[in-house]
Amino acid sequence: MKKQFNTKFQSRSSLLAAVLALFMANGCSSNPSNSPSADGDKKTADEIVPPTNPDGFSGAIGNVVKFSDHEVEINADDKPVFIKLTDSLRIYAPSPSSMTNIKNAGYVGVISKKQPDQSEDQAAQVLILPEELRGLNEGSFMLPPEKGAESGGRMTNGSASDAGGGSRMSNGSVSAADTTSLTLQFQGHSRTVNVPAGTPVVEYKVSTKIPNMGDKIFLLVKKGADDSLVSSKIVCF
């Protein structure tokens, strides 16, 4: 049973790795993208809102080649990338969690897919992110399909909210038979996603984990004074 759970958890981590890889494809922009919709100020639930990152940050993802206290080398798209690490480095790793750990205004990511009748989105995975990662890829955008799939679903990152009549677990708990919903606020937009019972939830926390050779990691990076890449935050999968 434990082996089966670990296999499923690793698969979900691989899905997050694919999501973070998309950050790179979108350039990990640090500039807000609030372009008006075709309906002027009207912002529809299905509108694509390109992801943004905290000011000045971009992203790097790859497998660890070498890791030391002051620098990490990763293999990104078969190319070596060297990133300096600050003394204030924080490493984040996932652990199984539940919807009860989502706080109002907490920063959350939801991977969702349309139901067969196309009526509404349904969550496939919920990611609880720490306050230090607030703003990471904030937005709502389509994911590339997994191998053999027709569509890859949608990723929405934003602040959990009860605003606007949102139905995010008003009692703060959920039973095994419940289906609840989660409302996220991002870049002036709002999106509500149904979360069926049993939907996998993971929470990212500061960890003492040291990435090993071959581990896939994501780093928030900035350019240093000498044009080198510098990071103070690493997300492990």
pLDDT per residue as tens digits for the range 175-220: 445 678 899 999 999 999 999 999 999 999 999 999 999 999 999 9
Residue 128 lies in a domain: yes
Q: How far apart are CA 146 and CA 123, in angstroms?
A: 16
Task: Specify the pTM.
Answer: 0.72
Residue 40 lies in a domain: no
Give pLDDT tens digits for 42-82. Answer: 455 678 999 888 887 888 889 999 999 999 999 998 999 99
Residue 39 lies in a domain: no
Q: How many domains are there within the chain? A: 1
Residue 38 lies in a domain: no
Residue 109 lies in a domain: yes
Say if residue 13 is exposed, middle or buried (CB neighbours under 10 Å; 0-12, 13-18, 19+): middle
Of 158, 147, 202, the closest CA to residue 13 belongs to 202
Residue 37 lies in a domain: no
Q: Tell me phi and psi for residue 150, to 5 degrees.
A: -75, -35
Q: How far apart are CA 190 and CA 49, in angstroms?
A: 11
Give pLDDT tens digits for 91-106. Answer: 999 999 999 999 999 9
Which range marks the domain in which residue 188 is found?
Answer: 2-32+45-236
Which one-letter DSSP state was computed for residue 40?
B
